[in-house]
A and B are shown apart, each in its own frame.
Chain A
Amino acid sequence: MTGGILSSVFYRILATIPVIGFVALFVFLLLRLTPGDPALLIGGDMATGEDLERIRASLGLDRPIWSQFLLWSERVMAGDLGRSVFSGEQVTTLIAQRLEPTIALALTVVVFSVMTAVPLGVAAAWYAGSIIDRLLSVFAVLAFSVPVFLIGYFLIYEFSVKTELFPVHGYRALSEGIGPFLHHLVLPAVSLGLVYVALLARMTRSTMLEVLDQDYIRTARAKGLSGARVLFVHALRNAGGPIITTIGVGLTLLLGGVVVTESVFAIPGLGRLVVDSMLQRDYPVIQGTILFFSVLYLMINLAIDIGYVLLDPRIRK
């Protein structure tokens, strides 16, 4: 039995490696495809042809492209993402500085969404076809259609400019106290979270409908269990898997939305870092941040997959 668990955990780790490899290759090629010669940038106008050759050799630019890729991958795996063209700082340092606001925002959104979307989805499935169900589907279509910045600016206008309930923008670190920290996160989390709530609630609803149609639910009802017990103990537990998977898969949507939300609310997180670097054409920073986001996403989903294998005996193959 344990052998089965180990081998399927191993298989999942193995399956993630080529995907990470492709992301790395893509991100690497992105920098190589950028116009301009890095050696010329470093050498400046006064550099002679020989100087340029030397700089290229020191950067490894004279080698074939696959060898450059291997060299770069080695450095990345050692935790070296290069330096910012502008500030000269290590990209890893820049990412570390900007990490807290982004993680705080993303986590708040996930917690807020799970707490609202799961009950909503369960209610919509239990009372399928009812007014709750309809309202949910109307809300979902709306949330998928309204751009994040419209919700954001609307909330700012209503709750910051007009009534001054919440700050217009900015971020307070957790170290400055939990009160101001949460106070600054409410509006960004709500504007970013609505799409995520819609996604999760829809998924919860359709999974619950599927589960409620199973034989074991009929059995549970037939033996006279109360509705709530059937719903939460028997149905929700079995629907948990797909819901958690959606939380994981939806992270790309969330992390993408973070970029826009941080711009709307002037939060100094990773999303702002990408946008600022893009405006300055600071390629190493863009490259490093995208690689970081993607690997983070893949790792979280790998963890969810492995969690399944450990908890759900049906998936062990």
Chain B
Amino acid sequence: MTGAVQNTHLFDVQRKRPRLRRYFRWAVPSCAALVLLITAVLTLLSGCIAPFDPLEMHPLDRFMHPSEHYLLGTDNFGRDTFSRILHGGRVSLSVAFLVAIATSLLGIFLGVMAGYVRWLDGVLMRIMDGLMAIPGILLAIALMTVMEASLLTVVFAITITEIPRMTRLARAATLGVRNMLYIEAAVTVGTRFFPLLWRHILPNIAAPLLVQATFVAASAILLEAYLGFLGAGIPPEVPSWGNMIAQGRTFVQVSFGLVLYPSLLLAAVVLSINVLGDFLRDVLDPRMTGRK
């Protein structure tokens, strides 16, 4: 129903400016992909590329402005901001990747079970409602206070906060296909439970879940940074973007760059992932355009 209105409008615009539209449709996601690719390559190779050791202190060069020597300046210990950002990217990107994978695996499993096995539905969804009632950042903080701070515990804490939304989506999608004729046919010819899920249900609900997984990755990077910012993330001596911003904020009035550079890169990466997610959604399912 929504599609009808939107498509006519889109169609009008397309008729007026076809080339410009088509150009923009591809240009923006391509830029986003490029940003991600460059960031990924730079951070993966940070060991070779970074001009300095991210932990190396230069007591004489504290709060240096960006220069040829220190590309983005130095922090309160005289550590090179550029090198630290490169190394910090590893943390953010690993968190994004690991959380997206873990959330998808667990969330889709739980959601399909809730959508297909009726007696599980009530219990599982009430638990998810409960988890969703706790603000994400607070839930992650609470989990971090009872665990040793490390990359894996941060991934775990963020995954728990992301699972409910993925589960809901997977459940809704499963409910949408479970009464389809092809499912009925598969059941009739005696397909077992797990092959049924794997071969018939999963491929037919995969598109929206894949899109959701990209949004999970974006939100995971933000949450990791918030945790680091509040002092609940991975140990402070590790140069992650969140930790850098947390340490830099004490010196906002001395050197704004300590907060600005890591947060700008963070925002650029999150933005790129979100743009790619939107693009993926438009490509995979035109009906979902404009919704979130």
Closest beta carbon of chain A to B170's beta carbon, Å: 19
Looking at the complex, which one of A20, A33, A255, A298 makes contact with B146 (CB distance below 8 Å)?
A33
Q: Number of residues in A with C-beta < 8 Å to the partner?
A: 58
A281 to B231, CA, bound (A): 12
The answer to the question of B106 belonging to the interface, with a C-beta cut-off of 8 Å to chain A, is: no
* Contacting pair B134 A213 (CB below 8 A): no
A18 to B125, CA, bound (A): 11
A202 to B146, CA, bound (A): 37
Q: Which residue of B lies closest to A137 (CB)?
A: B290
Closest beta carbon of chain A to B260's beta carbon, Å: 8
Q: Which residue of A lies closest to B139 (CB)?
A: A290
Looking at the complex, which one of A22, A30, A150, A275 makes contact with B126 (CB distance below 8 Å)?
A22
The answer to the question of A153 belonging to the interface, with a C-beta cut-off of 8 Å to chain B, is: yes
* Contacting pair B135 A256 (CB below 8 A): yes
Encode contact with B along A189-223: 1 for CB under 8 Å, 0 otherwise. Answer: 00000000000001001100110110000000000
* Contacting pair A145 B274 (CB below 8 A): yes
* Contacting pair A213 B4 (CB below 8 A): yes
The answer to the question of B85 belonging to the interface, with a C-beta cut-off of 8 Å to chain A, is: no
* Contacting pair A278 B141 (CB below 8 A): yes
Q: Number of residues in B with C-beta < 8 Å to the partner?
A: 55
* Contacting pair A298 B12 (CB below 8 A): no
A210 to B274, CA, bound (A): 24
The answer to the question of A86 belonging to the interface, with a C-beta cut-off of 8 Å to chain B, is: no
Interface-centre pick from B139, B146, B231, B264 (highest chain A CB count, 10 A): B146
Q: Which residue of B lies closest to A282 (CB)?
A: B145
* Contacting pair B291 A278 (CB below 8 A): no
* Contacting pair A278 B6 (CB below 8 A): no
* Contacting pair A256 B252 (CB below 8 A): no
Chain A residues closer than 8 Å to B146, beta-carbon distance = 30, 33-35
A34 to B264, CA, bound (A): 36
Chain B residues closer than 8 Å to A202, beta-carbon distance = 291-292
* Contacting pair A150 B135 (CB below 8 A): no
Binds A, one of B97-105, B109-117, B265-273: B265-273
Supposing A141-B275, A157-B252 touch, asked if A259 and B2 sit within 8 A by C-beta, the answer is no
Q: Which residue of A lies closest to B241 (CB)?
A: A147
Closest beta carbon of chain B to A297's beta carbon, Å: 5
Closest beta carbon of chain B to A274's beta carbon, Å: 6
Chain A residues closer than 8 Å to B278, beta-carbon distance = 141
In chain A between 264 and 312, which residues have their CB closer than 8 angstroms to a CB of chain B?
A: 264, 274-275, 278-279, 281, 283, 286-287, 289-290, 293-294, 297-298
The answer to the question of B213 belonging to the interface, with a C-beta cut-off of 8 Å to chain A, is: no
* Contacting pair A153 B252 (CB below 8 A): yes
Closest beta carbon of chain A to B143's beta carbon, Å: 8
The answer to the question of A65 belonging to the interface, with a C-beta cut-off of 8 Å to chain B, is: no
The answer to the question of B1 belonging to the interface, with a C-beta cut-off of 8 Å to chain A, is: yes
The answer to the question of B263 belonging to the interface, with a C-beta cut-off of 8 Å to chain A, is: yes
* Contacting pair B225 A147 (CB below 8 A): yes
A212 to B130, CA, bound (A): 35
In chain A between 8 and 43, which residues have their CB closer than 8 angstroms to a CB of chain B?
A: 18-23, 26-27, 30, 33-35
Closest beta carbon of chain A to B157's beta carbon, Å: 12
CB pairs A–B below 8 angstroms (17 shown): A27-B142, A34-B146, A147-B222, A147-B226, A147-B263, A150-B259, A153-B249, A153-B256, A157-B256, A205-B290, A253-B135, A256-B136, A259-B230, A260-B137, A260-B230, A278-B145, A278-B231
Give 15 new A-B contacts, CB below 8 A, not counting A23-B130, A129-B10, A205-B290. A21-B130, A22-B131, A23-B134, A30-B143, A34-B145, A141-B278, A146-B267, A146-B270, A147-B222, A147-B263, A148-B226, A150-B264, A252-B135, A278-B144, A290-B138
